Structure 1
């Protein structure tokens, strides 16, 4: 396949080691761990990622700039594992927090180049990346794929709908899998398993705007001004600000330009997936982030659950202050753990098939 070669997998091969670059709060790492892989380390510039990554995955956290990492660092974290996996979600959005620290918009792909540099230098058996779908149309992506193939990797990638992998939101992502061991691909999920907003968060205790659940500091809803309380009370699930009386409409809505933003100030619908979670998903005016029936925006915990984090996922140490912008960033930027689990199960099926001689597994994933 494009000059790649198939290597032999030792029949006794058992140990795996994952290094997660740009690990964030640990969404990808947690998913890979849940699938059965061993996550050794996660790397991120944001020190806020240390507690959730280490607490929920058991991996070591390195507060480092990936641009400064050496191949020797990666090799040391991998140790002597039989199958090494380099994973990550290089922030490639032109306006991501990580990319804004770069001097020029032309340098926004720098982090992907460093991911490529480390992959080619260390030659892990498997490379996986999750990213924004728009990346696939960029020249940097084509060069990345070409570099992997020159290094003898079998490479596949595709755009996926996350709601087909038990992530209850309409999020689309680009997933790449590459292997030195043989052909590999992301396995299909059973689309009949799609979750709705009600299935995801319908059993959480009710809250008022500005209230925090006494049993879970992350089940906290941002406060609303009186005018926004009136607006959300006038909102219907799946509706828009056009449903409001004229006196509740913002000045920008009365302009022609405002007519192009029907999804702001919207309520979610119980019987459908949620919209894509963003770093501002705790704000009623930032998208369709209103609770389906309670007069408030979704809580931080609800946003995390919609991202497919388990309900007991720990983002903060006990007694640490909850701040919406900080937690919103960690949650909104995360790789959905259920998508990470699907990637991990696909990797393990690939390894098992090669070790036993059974070939690629053709069945659907069980993500229950």
Structure 2
């Protein structure tokens, strides 16, 4: 579908595969692209996706989609974008997965869909370790399929904090365009956004409490032992700061001494550590609040992923599935990184990519 037919009031149309709760779609939307549809197998993501992105959610297994299923969404009157982040767990260094994990094949399926759909632009985001996974077989195969179909491909390991995300996170970002070079826009050059900048103005809550005005500003409870541990923790410190009687048995073994980044507090004046699918748990990483005696709340985790402060994850009045929401947030593409991707696409269309068409709160 050629960009010669583009409508300047509708610079590009997007279909988002593996969309989750819509972080990638939201960033592209904020940049000024029109998101049409998102596909994911998790029905629980429907509300967040549709209510925040003005786009339709389709519960479907991407491995079973055809090119025709995707093509039907595009109007034929604007440039087209196919976006996606295949599940990263098989490639993650956080958790070993067997080489035969069927999810790694989804990257190849995404490439096949690109070849069949022939969008003007492609973007894929994933963990950096995908590049070396299976000696580069998966990633190199993806790039080779696109190049054989006439795409020019660029990629980099992006430092998310350099794109306005208040979090130290490394992500593989790939961009491809038909018959033209495309690269991720230059970094902002602005000062990094700290934890204090991002969440310092949120009202205080206690462990196990939910703020009455925001059901997402909810913190997991702490056992009496972990409450003593967090009270003995200092921002930027480790469990080594604790009295001996508070240390876990695994920390007392020699093998446990190489894991200082668990049961720890964040620091106010630096970006946060990488958000994971268990970022709401004090014992799961450096996820302790810098000052309050609790782990960060779900809302704080979402803001550190650069979701807008009012991003809705469940209908008003409905009880939030706490751990599910934590997983959705941890799995998300940082919204500000996605926005940079959208601005990069707009720049190649001749739009003023430095002036996002949708303004609003970012962190």
TM-score (norm 1): 0.91
The equivalent residue for 1:143 is: 141
Q: Structure 1 residue runs of 4+, over 4 Å off?
A: 10-14, 363-368
Provide structure 1 residue ranges, at least 5 long, that are not aligned to the other structure: 1-6
The equivalent residue for 1:309 is: 307
Provide structure 2 residue ranges, at least 5 long, that are not aligned to the other structure: none
Write out per-residue CA displacement over residues 263-293 of structure 1, whole angstroms, 9 at most, x where no aligned residue: 0000000000000000100000000000000
In the alignment, the residues of structure 1 paired with residue 5 and residue 19 of structure 2 have an alpha-carbon distance, to the nearest angstrom, of 30
- Whether the 8 Å CA contact 2:169–2:274 is kept in 1: the answer is yes
Give the secondary structure class of the aligned counterpart of 2:114.
helix
Q: 2:187 aligns with which of 182, 186, 189?
A: 189
- Whether the 8 Å CA contact 1:168–1:308 is kept in 2: the answer is yes
The equivalent residue for 1:321 is: 319
Q: 1:159 aligns with which of 141, 154, 157?
A: 157
**1:364: how far off?**
11
**1:13: how far off?**
5.3
**1:107: how far off?**
3.1
The equivalent residue for 2:102 is: 107
The equivalent residue for 1:240 is: 238
Write out per-residue CA displacement over residues 163-196 of structure 1, whole angstroms, 9 at most, x where no aligned residue: 0111111100010110015111101122323100
In the alignment, the residues of structure 2 paired with residue 191 and residue 325 of structure 1 have an alpha-carbon distance, to the nearest angstrom, of 35
**1:70: how far off?**
1.1
- Whether the 8 Å CA contact 2:3–2:120 is kept in 1: the answer is no
- Whether the 8 Å CA contact 2:164–2:188 is kept in 1: the answer is no
- Whether the 8 Å CA contact 1:14–1:82 is kept in 2: the answer is no
Matched, 1:279 2:277: yes
In the alignment, the residues of structure 1 paired with residue 186 and residue 3 of structure 2 have an alpha-carbon distance, to the nearest angstrom, of 26
- Whether the 8 Å CA contact 1:222–1:297 is kept in 2: the answer is yes
- Whether the 8 Å CA contact 2:27–2:336 is kept in 1: the answer is yes
**1:95: how far off?**
7.4
- Whether the 8 Å CA contact 1:92–1:111 is kept in 2: the answer is no
Q: 1:331 aligns with which of 317, 326, 329?
A: 329
In the alignment, the residues of structure 1 paired with residue 307 and residue 107 of structure 2 have an alpha-carbon distance, to the nearest angstrom, of 26
Matched, 1:132 2:130: no
Aligned pair in 2 of structure 1 residues 148, 308: CA closer, same or farther (>3 Å)?
Answer: same
Aligned length, in residue pairs? 352
In the alignment, the residues of structure 1 paired with residue 198 and residue 164 of structure 2 have an alpha-carbon distance, to the nearest angstrom, of 10
